[in-house]
Amino acid sequence: MLRPAAIFRDHMVLQRDVPAAVFGTCDTTVTVTLADKCAEAVPENGRFLVRLPALPAGGPYVLKLESAGEKIEIADVMIGEVWICGGQSNMEFRIYQEEGSEKELSEDNDPMLRFYTVPDAGRETEAEEKEQHTIWKALSPNSCADVSAIAYHAGRRLRDILGVPVGMVICCLGGTEIAHWMSRETLASMPEGQEQLAAFTRLVDGITEERYEHDTAEYQQQLVNYWRDSERLQTENPGIRPPEIEKRLGPYPWPPPAGPFMPRRPAGLWENMTCRITPFTARGLFWYQGESDSGRAMQYAALLEAMIRDWRRGFESPTLPFIAAQLPIYGADPHNEDWAGIREAQQKVCASDPNCRAVCLLDCGEKDNLHPVDKRTAALRMADAALFLAYGIGDGASSPSLISTEYADGHAVLHFDMPLASPIHLTSALRVNGVPVSDAIVSENKLIVSAPSGAKIEYGQENAPDACLFGQSALPVFPFSATLPEDSI
């Protein structure tokens, strides 16, 4: 039986200017036709992969698949730019959850901006069942309220600048660790991954599938009750903050029950979400994740680097552009979280790869809200980074980063890779030996700070620092830490 992957649906977008992959399951030779292009492939182990010749932006077209008398037609197919949007809850955060989104949702209309959301699943049968209801959504008034806000704002920016059809493929799930999005083979090949696999084995030891399903049903009811009560509180108390909601209702029900097929398990989402859309041809990847790994910041850099390799391999693009949202501020610290450590890992990994870019969000977020309601700022910076990295357009939403440090006569001179703007105020975000700095001098791309020899100068090293250093583009300086030499130069 001929069965293309679920992502191949009416109103889809295929990547322009490169051979586009069309894949699925079948037992006999498959022929695929789009516009005036045609290609065929013989399935291997019941799976087929056809690569259509490159096409420029355009459409609408009909994508035709044929095999042994079976014919499938997919209508209203556009050729343009495709980006994958991956991560956890802040990528999943939907447009309707943004403050003031009602007017935008009711008016925005652009049939050339389209979205596909991969259903979350813990096993293949669950994924197949949910995929029966997946569709590509073209943007029209009130049609995309449940779409990722990051995907929406970033896609809108790409559409406005590039002027071609844009498809945003959303593959994310809240409360997920980076190991959940990696292949089992990769995890087993590295100590950090082996630790995660072993911990999961211990966690689910002795838990039967029946017990897991029973516990999950009870948990789902707890969630329904909590969401109902939370919505009631917000209706009765407009502007109520998350800490007050939790104070009145108790902690949000978390984590979900453990079981052998829980979606949030090492390799679980790689197998049942990411692999459902690979090797779909895309221009690049937006990534917003790291909150759930804030208790293991020391391991995050190695895991992130390996995850990028996994996704590039899966999408069959060894230089796939990768745009990472560096975590914004968040003040809570219930479980020894280290958001500064995650930021450092994100910056380090992206700086070491010419096809990666970390986007600084140190001036974004809310100290008492894990899910800040402003997603536009993050999304536009990510889109601007993508425009520069993938298309050479603009300045790349670049934030200044520390490149070298000098020390003489009781002053540290910190050099950055681009001009700085004079800080409006200094805060505890800038410290010398842990003590807040009260004054500093900005001179072009230098920051001059009074400090003793051997001192440690830090900026933005708390979970929720107050950003006070910016570049001339008004983008925040990346967090940094530097230790001065013991002797004067």
Note whether 407 and 387 are same-domain residues: no
Rounded mean pLDDT, 104-113: 92
Q: What is the pLDDT of residue 336?
A: 67
Rounded mean pLDDT, 194-209: 95
Region for residue 282 given its phi and psi (left: phi exceeds 0; alpha: psi -120 to 50; beta: otherwise): beta
Q: How many whole angstroms separate alpha carbon 351 and alpha carbon 94?
A: 29
- The amino acid occupying position 68 is A
Q: What is the pLDDT of residue 395?
A: 80
Q: How many whole angstroms separate alpha carbon 176 and alpha carbon 469?
A: 31
Rounded mean pLDDT, 108-134: 96
Q: What is the pLDDT of residue 242?
A: 87
Asked whether residue 240 is domain-assigned, the answer is no
Q: What is the pLDDT of residue 489?
A: 42
Rounded mean pLDDT, 471-483: 93
Note whether 440 and 356 are same-domain residues: no
Tokens read off for 24:
């699925």
Asked whether residue 190 is domain-assigned, the answer is no
Note whether 351 and 457 are same-domain residues: no
Rounded mean pLDDT, 110-138: 97
Rounded mean pLDDT, 350-361: 97
Note whether 385 and 433 are same-domain residues: no
Asked whether residue 195 is domain-assigned, the answer is no
Asked whether residue 171 is domain-assigned, the answer is yes
Q: Identify the band that residue 427 occupies on the pLDDT scale cut at 50, 70 and 90.
A: confident
Are the CB atoms for 478 and 467 separated by under 8 Å?
Answer: no
Note whether 381 and 406 are same-domain residues: no
- Residue 72 vs residues 9, 128, 250: alpha-carbon distances, Å: 10, 18, 51
Note whether 279 and 297 are same-domain residues: yes
Quick check: 396 pLDDT over 90?
A: no
- Give alpha helix (H) positions in 290-364: 297-314, 339-351
Rounded mean pLDDT, 10-15: 98
Phi, psi of 337 (to 5 degrees): -75, 150
367-370 contacts: CB < 8 A, separation 24 or more? Answer: 367/329, 367/330, 367/331, 367/332, 367/464, 368/241, 368/242, 368/243, 368/331, 368/332, 369/241, 369/242, 369/330, 370/89, 370/242, 370/291, 370/330, 370/332
Q: What is the pLDDT of residue 333?
A: 56
CATH code for the domain of 459: 2.60.40
* Residue 428 neighbours by CB under 8 Å, 6+ apart: 436, 462, 465, 466
CA count, 13 A, side-chain hemisphere, 87: 24
- Write down which residue in 364, 395, 426 finishes a domain: 395
Note whether 304 and 413 are same-domain residues: no
Q: What is the pLDDT of residue 487?
A: 64
Q: Give the rounded percent of residues in the chain with a pLDDT score beyond 70.
A: 98
Query: Of all helices (H) and strands (E), which one includes residue 245?
Result: helix 242-249
Note whether 383 and 422 are same-domain residues: no
- The amino acid occupying position 349 is V
Q: How many whole angstroms separate alpha carbon 112 and alpha carbon 95?
A: 18
* Residue 212 neighbours by CB under 8 Å, 6+ apart: 257, 258, 259, 260, 261, 262
Asked whether residue 488 is domain-assigned, the answer is no
Q: Give the rounded percent of residues in the chain with a pLDDT score beyond 90.
A: 87
Q: What is the pLDDT of residue 422?
A: 85
Q: What is the pLDDT of residue 332?
A: 62
Asked whether residue 304 is domain-assigned, the answer is yes
Q: What is the pLDDT of residue 179?
A: 98
Q: Identify the band that residue 12 occupies on the pLDDT scale cut at 50, 70 and 90.
A: very high
Q: What is the pLDDT of residue 460?
A: 94
Q: Identify the band that residue 271 occupies on the pLDDT scale cut at 50, 70 and 90.
A: very high
Asked whether residue 219 is domain-assigned, the answer is no
Positive or negative: CA dihedral 244, 247, 250, 251: positive
Cis, peptide link before residue 400, omega less than 30° from 0: no
* pLDDT-wise least confident of 17-21, 100-104, 389-393, 482-486: 100-104
Note whether 155 and 77 are same-domain residues: yes
462 or 395, greater pLDDT: 462
Quick check: 123 pLDDT over 90?
A: yes
Ranges assigned E (strand) in 145-187: 166-172
Q: Scanning the structure block, which residue is given the tokens 């950055």? A: 416
Q: How many whole angstroms separate alpha carbon 31 and alpha carbon 42?
A: 9
Note whether 383 and 441 are same-domain residues: no
CA count, 13 A, side-chain hemisphere, 181: 30
* pLDDT-wise least confident of 19-28, 191-200, 245-254: 245-254
Note whether 369 and 473 are same-domain residues: no
Q: What is the pLDDT of residue 162?
A: 98
Task: Please count the structural domains in the chain.
Answer: 2
Quick check: 354 pLDDT over 90?
A: yes
Are the CB atoms for 391 and 398 separated by under 8 Å?
Answer: no
Domain carrying residue 474: 402-483
Reading across the β-sheet that carries 446-450, which strands appear in turn?
402-408, 411-416, 446-450, 441-443
| DSSP SS3 for 455 | coil
Q: pLDDT tens digits for 284-315?
A: 999 999 999 998 999 999 999 999 999 999 99
Tally of helices (H runs) and strands (E runs) in the chain? 13, 24
Q: Identify the band that residue 380 occupies on the pLDDT scale cut at 50, 70 and 90.
A: very high
Quick check: 397 pLDDT over 70?
A: no
Kindly report the average pLDDT of the chain as a whole number: 94
- Write down which residue in 395, 413, 431 finishes a domain: 395
CATH code for the domain of 137: 3.40.50.1110
Asked whether residue 436 is domain-assigned, the answer is yes
Note whether 436 and 379 are same-domain residues: no
Quick check: 477 pLDDT over 70?
A: yes
- Write down which residue in 395, 422, 455 finishes a domain: 395
* pLDDT-wise least confident of 188-202, 243-257, 333-347, 389-403: 333-347
Quick check: 488 pLDDT over 50?
A: no
Quick check: 335 pLDDT over 60?
A: no
Query: Of all helices (H) and strands (E), which one includes residue 150?
Result: helix 149-162
